[in-house]
Every structure is written in structure tokens, then in C-alpha cells.
Structure 1
Amino acid sequence: MGAEILPVAGVRLAAAAGGIRYQNRDDLALLELTEGSVAAAVFTRNAFCAAPVTVARQHLEKAAPRYLLINSGNANAGTGEAGMAASLETCRLVAAAAGVAINQVLPFSTGVIGEDLPTEPFARAVPGLLASLGEDNWLASARAIMTTDTLPKLASRSFQVEGQTVTVTGMSKGSGMIRPDMATMLAFIATDALISAASLQQVLETAVDPSFNSITVDGDTSTNDACVLVATGVSCMDVDAAASACGQAFRQAVDEVCMELARAIVLDGEGATKLVEIAVEEAESESQARDVAYTVAHSPLVKTALFASDPNWGRILAAVGRAGVDDLDIGRVRIWLDDVCIVSRGERDAAYTEEAGQAVMSQPEFTIRIALGTGQAHVRILTCDLSFDYVKINAEYRT
């Protein structure tokens, strides 16, 4: 978590302990959006998407949301019709207590897959959640949505145009089962800017591509991934026009918040000790560059070498070679660890030394740069190492 977390006018939050799975900690969060707010969202593309993902999509098509309800400890995924009924019931509980339509409540869940979601904890907690709503409860809410996360993830930006201040604040959760195909595990970003729903959707989709859609911890795309961007309009600062000064400043602020939250997820990867950027350049296309980057990032041999600070460049080279690049000319491939060239002309660089490579890989953060020599496209993604603790955390997740 970086600098001060700024409240967003028109957004109130609350956290509570429902006892869904965890004991002696908050596991429910509620966000209230002022009337007139608009929302944009992106969701997982996993075919086994969770019940709350389906319900949230359906509700967004029918009405502008007034409440976002999030639980941790239970994903409500792989639960069939019972899961749908439970998700709808949690929405109904909030809607009835708050006096809004059921489709103005969006549900989100994270946690263990395949277990029925109990609704009794929601029934007990909703009155208290509504009573304790406040603008300054971002930190408590970020903690409530954590699962294997070791710390809450929050980010804020603000800017001024013609003396008017606009704020963007967001929170996310995610530590394992991270290889998004839309956004991340869960992320909720709010602003008091004034913008149309259509423009807001464009802003979000543009922001998630280099941030949440360019990170991986373990290559697993969750059933519950969702990212929501809401705009209350309370500041009355119109940022709809992308070319205007305020429109550009707003888009930059959203981009920066998304990037900071995405980076925090990789830094907090389950058992992670290293943050590694993989930069692929001189590719024929962005998709080709992305294929190479993710092949390297998902290689267990590469990831364990990162953990050991072992500059075993052959593992990186082998991953590049099996990434599916048609007619790859290995004589043009160059690979660097930060500024240390380890491979040139498809073989170990003549000036490379093991000591120089290990010095880079011993750092907590560094870059693996790969030039394919086939074109002009380039991609950057963030990943982490694979440590003993990753296996321990996931082996013991349900015990």
C-alpha cells in the first residue's frame, strides 16, 4: 500500500465479520454508491464462472448498481443452481434492508471453490454493514476481502483541473490463482468524476490490458475474477471527452491506480520473494510477444530458478524455444537480465559471466528482456518466483 488512501465522494464502505469461513476477522464488505452513479466491469472468461459473476453480469444489464457486496472465504463457484439461489438471496438481503431493487446490488465472492455459500452470515451482518457505512473505510474493506493475501492492496490518485479536484481510489485482492483473462481476482475502483457509462467502460478496458491483464503468479485463471470501476459524478468534473485535459488526467489516474494494484498482487504472490518483469520485444505481433512472455513466466523451471537466484539461462532459452513462434531464427534471439546480456546470436553471450547474472537475480526486483529479432511488437508482463511456501500454502489451503 502506497500513499494516503483518499475517500471518494459518493462512495461509502463497511466491513463485518460474518464467519463464513474465517474466524475472528472481517470477511464481508459492502460498498454503497450514491444515486446516479454509473459502473463499468470486466469479468473472468473461465467457462466455470462463479454464480456471483453470472448474477453481477445480469444485474449490470438491468440497472445501475447502488451496492457492491463482497465476501471472502467462499467462492460460490461450481455450486450449480444452489449457488445462483444463494447469490441472489445475498442481493435480496441488501436490497430489502437498503430499500433498492435487487438488481441494483452486485455480488462478488472469493475463496474456496465447490462449497455451498451459506446465506445466514449475510442475514446477520447486513444490518450492521449498512449502519456502519463510511467514506473512510477503504482499509477495513480491503482487509475483509483478503484470502491468502498477506496484506491489503489499496491505491489512490487525485488531480486538479481548473481548481476542481477529482479522486480515484481502488482496492484489490489476489495472491494465488492469478493469470487474469480480463482483470484480476477482485478489484474495485471508484471515482467522483462525471462520465458516461459507455466511456467509463472504455476507460476500464484500456486500463486493465497493461495492468491486471499483464500479470501472472501461477498461470491459473480464477472462476471469480472481476474488476469494477464506478463513477459517482459528485465532483461534477466532466471527464467524458478523452482528448480534453481533464479527460486525459482522469485516464492517467485510472491507469496508475490499476497498475499499482496489479503490481501489489504480484508482489504478494503466494510465497513470492521476487518481482520479475518479463519484457519481450522485436516480435512480429503483440500476441506473439505475449505468448513468449507467458511461456517464460509460467515455466516451473524458470520460476524455481528465480527463487534460487540461479541464472540458469538455458531454462529461459528453452521456454522461448517452445513458445510456438513460427520460423524462429534463434540466431537473432538476445536475452538480458537487466543490463547483463546472457544470450546473443542464440547462444551464451561471449562477455557473460555467471557472477554478473547471479548478481542481478539476487535482487528482489529485476527484468528479463527477450529480443526475438522478428518485428517491432513488444509486451511487458509482471510475474514472481515459485517458492517452497507456494506449495505449502496451496497444499494446506482447505485444511
Structure 2
Amino acid sequence: MDVIFNEGGVTAPKGFLAAGVHCGIKKHKKDLAVIYSEVLATAAGVFTTNKVKAAPVRITMENLSDGKAQAIVVNSGNANACTGERGLKDARKMAELVAQKLGLNPHDVVVASTGVIGVSMPMDKVRQGIEQCCKSISVYGGADAATAIMTTDTFKKEMAVKLEIGGKTVTIGGMTKGSGMIHPNMATMLCFITTDANIEAKALKKALKDATAKSFNMISVDGDTSTNDMAVVLANGLAENQLITCGTEDYELFYKGFETVCIELAKMMARDGEGATKFIEVQVKNAPDEISAVKAARAVTRSNLVKTAIFGEDANWGRIICAVGYSGIDFNPDLVDIYISSRAGEMILAENGMGLNFSEDKAKAILSEKDIKVIVDLKQGDGCATAWGCDLSYDYVKINGSYRT
């Protein structure tokens, strides 16, 4: 089965419309978006593990409790987090305003926010933005919606794929934002995925959970987890394929496409890390088991010492094996091989836990590329995992030192 990359994002699947506008939450850039399904959709979500959950996260968790949704409203520039009862009231009002304009039940509206914590929502501006969006939603509005949810992102993040299931063409589209405060278990992100697949709620929830584990929970920029993270998927069934259920061949076909979308969106976020100059892929192979491989890969991508070494184009492999060492897995350090690679070539830095007499010039040439791969071979089993991240540069401090201004 081929997964074919398709143009567009959340409006690529049948029956989805979107819009993104500037309503004044931010000074100049687009800051509010609405995504709408022409019919009630099966829905699922995963949310931040932070104990402090923003008002929109709490409202959306309530609204998705029945596994149904028909619209999403999301703003950037204000997180509506740590805003007390007023914040909850404002989040509910956002759902109500969208419902009124589109003729929906407020319970069927997902609410999301991202931006500065601890500031009340400017609801007069939000009201105007929702009115604008609901008037202008169209099949051409996906790119504007993807732009409107950006905060410190430097580019919009959207994509879509199509595949054939049971003789019907199924499309999956998505958009996400995320650049800083990125860390596994949910990364700091907002992600919205749409599909015209006809799929049962149980299967959709499983697909989101499993794909999140392989994608959004395998990226790290700076080790912080926010108050507003969520990934939500809506499936409206307009592809008219036979109902997809767990444990079937059709489910495996759907999941392959769904996971592809999630992984590609996750990699876009890692590539766009705040102040990043390099994209890092860490592959751990031959670990004792998959869980160990995941822990080791995550440890390397979140190590500030590894990140800064790669920023400085320094082949300091000791920082890599050190990160694996504190990852909490059981392994034999005397068996570990470490490689680096990029478009400039590949080379081994350490073998059987000891450094080799490698060419520093060649290593620097490899690390001078924008896309860097680190390979850690534990040689103790068949577990493998891949994680993604970025380097840590001077600009990260500059960006976050003046985030509110």
C-alpha cells in the first residue's frame, strides 16, 4: 500500500473547511483559526501531562468525552492558562460563539489556545475573530489556519496524505504548531488532524495514542512541557469506506497513513526549534528491547550538552554515551558503538565503548550540515527507536529572554 503525499493540510480531506484571521490578540500576525466539518465527526484527543492544565484543555477534555466533534477554534498569542474561573468561562464562550455561527452544539466544539500564560483572553477581539472566521471558512482556508496558530514558529506546519482503503480514497490532513517548550509526553504543541475516513471511535483513539507515542512524544527542543498541549483528530466518514475497526487490515492501512502524518508534523516542529540551526535525528538500534531504545533515544535528544556540542560542530561523543548512561536503561557500556552522519558522509566515533582516532576535520564537515543523524548501536538485542530534536543555540536564550515582549 502506498501512502501518497498530498497538497494542503486540514482541508485536504472531504468535507473540511477552515479559516485563519488576525483579530488583534497579537499585534500584527494572524491569531485565530476555525476548522469545521460539514458533518458531525468521530473525534479523539491526547493532552498535556502537565498538572497545570489551561482552561481550553479542560473544556476540550469535557467536550470530547462523547467521542464526537464538528469544529475547532484555536487562538495564538494568549494561552488562557492560570486564569481561574474567568478562563474557563472564556473558553466555554469561544465554543458557544462558534456553535452559534455554524449552527452546532457547543459541546461539539474543540477549544485550544497557545501563547502567554496568566493573561485573560481579550474576548471582544476573540468574538470578532470568530465571526470573521465563520464567515470566511472555505476549502482554501487551511494554510491561513495553520499560520494563525503559530507563536515563535518560523514557518507554518501542515501536510496531507492519501491512500486507498477498500476501494475508496481516504485522505488525512494535519497542521501543528510548536517551536519552544518541546518535550516528550506531550510536546508543547497544538496539533489538529482531519480525515474523511469512516472509522470507529475506539480505532481512532488507538491510532492517535499509538501514533503520538511514535511521533510527538519522540521530539525534544528544550525539555519543557507546557500547560496547553493537545493533539485532536476529527474523522467525518465522507470517504464512504467500510467502517474501519481495530485489528483489521483496513485499520493497518489507515494507521500507516496516520502515523506518517504525525511523524512528518513532529519532525517539522523539531526542525523549527527556537533558535535552532540544526535538525538532529537520533537512532538507537540493537537495544535490549523497544522501551530501552525509546528511553535512550529520548535522553540523547534532550541532553543540553549534546545539543550544544552539535551547535558547535564538536564531535563530542562522550556526551552521547553519557546521556544513554543516565537514561535509566540496563545496558553494557563496553559494547556501544556511536556514529554520526549527514550529507557530508558518515563516520564512527566510538567502538565498544571507547573512542577511536577519527579525523576531526571530517567530523566537523559532517556536523557542519543542517541535518545531522546520530546512531547509537547498543549491540544487545533487537530494540530500536528514533527520536528527533535540534541544537541549542545562543538565539534560544534571546527568544525566551524576551518572550512576553
Matched, 1:348 2:352: no
Q: Does 1:15 align with 2:20?
A: yes
1:227 maps to a residue whose letter is: A
- Aligned partners of 1:184 and 1:253: how far apart in 2? 23
Aligned pair 1:4/2:7, yes or no? yes
The secondary structure found in structure 2 opposite 1:90 is helix
Residues 82-231 of structure 1: matches in 2 within 5 Å? Answer: 82-161=86-165, 164-182=168-186, 185-231=189-235
User: SS at 2:65's partner residue?
Assistant: helix
Work out the CA distance in 2 between the residues paired with 1:55 and 1:173: 20
| 2:334 paired with 1:331 | yes
**Kept after mapping to 2: 8 A contact 1:180/1:225:** no
Counterpart of 2:39 in structure 1 is 35
Is residue 2:281 matched to residue 1:277?
A: yes
Q: Which amino acid aligns with 1:117?
A: M
Structure 1 contact 184–227 (Cα < 8 Å) conserved? no
Unmatched segments (≥5 aa) in structure 1: none
Task: Say which of 368, 381, 385 aligns to 2:387.
Answer: 381
TM-score calculated relative to the size of structure 2: 0.92
Is the Cα–Cα contact under 8 Å of residues 283 and 372 in structure 1 kept in the other structure?
yes
- % of aligned pairs identical? 39
Change (3 A) 1:49 1:153: same
How far 1:12 sits from its partner (Å)? 1.0
1:44–1:180: 8 Å Cα contact kept in structure 2? no
Residues of 2 paired with 1:377 and 1:81: CA distance?
A: 47
Partner of 1:45: 49
Q: Which sits farther off after the overlay, 48-57 or 275-284? A: 275-284
| 2:240 alignment partner, one of 231, 236, 240 | 236
Distance 1:245 1:218 in 2: 39
Asked whether the 8 Å contact 1:183–1:227 carries over to 2, the reply is: no
In the TM superposition, 1:312-331 aligns within 5 A as: 312-326=316-330, 328-331=331-334
Equivalent-residue separation in structure 2 for 1:329 and 1:243 (angstroms): 37
Q: Which amino acid aligns with 2:135?
A: A
1:74 aligns with 2:78: yes
Structure-1 separation of matches of 2:108 and 2:37: 10
**C-alpha deviations, 1:64-97, integer Å up to 9, x for none?**
2121110000111122222112111211222233
Instruction: Please say which of residues 294-303 and 378-387 is displaced more in the overlay.
Output: 294-303
> Is the deviation greater in 363-372 or in 237-246?
237-246
Within 2, Cα distance between the matches of 1:292 and 1:386?
19
State the SS of the aligned residue for 1:318: helix
Cα RMSD (Å): 2.0
For these two proteins, the number of residue pairs brought into alignment is 395
Structure 2 residue runs of 5 or longer lacking an equivalent are: none
Moved more, 134-143 or 282-291: 282-291
Q: Using a 3 Å threshold, how does the CA distance of structure 1 residues 63 and 106 change in structure 2: closer, same or farther?
A: same
For the residues of structure 1 that align with 2:30 and 2:375, how far apart are their CA atoms? 41
Q: Is this contact kept in 1: 2:187–2:219, CA < 8 A?
A: no
How far residue 176 of structure 1 moved from its aligned partner, in angstroms, is: 0.7
The answer as to whether partners of 1:62 and 1:103 remain within 8 angstroms in 2 is no
Counterpart Cα distance in 2 of 1:63 and 1:354: 55
Partners of 2:188 and 2:226 in 1: how far apart? 8
Checking the alignment, whether the CA contact within 8 Å between 2:19 and 2:145 is kept in structure 1 is yes
Q: AA paired with 1:335?
A: I
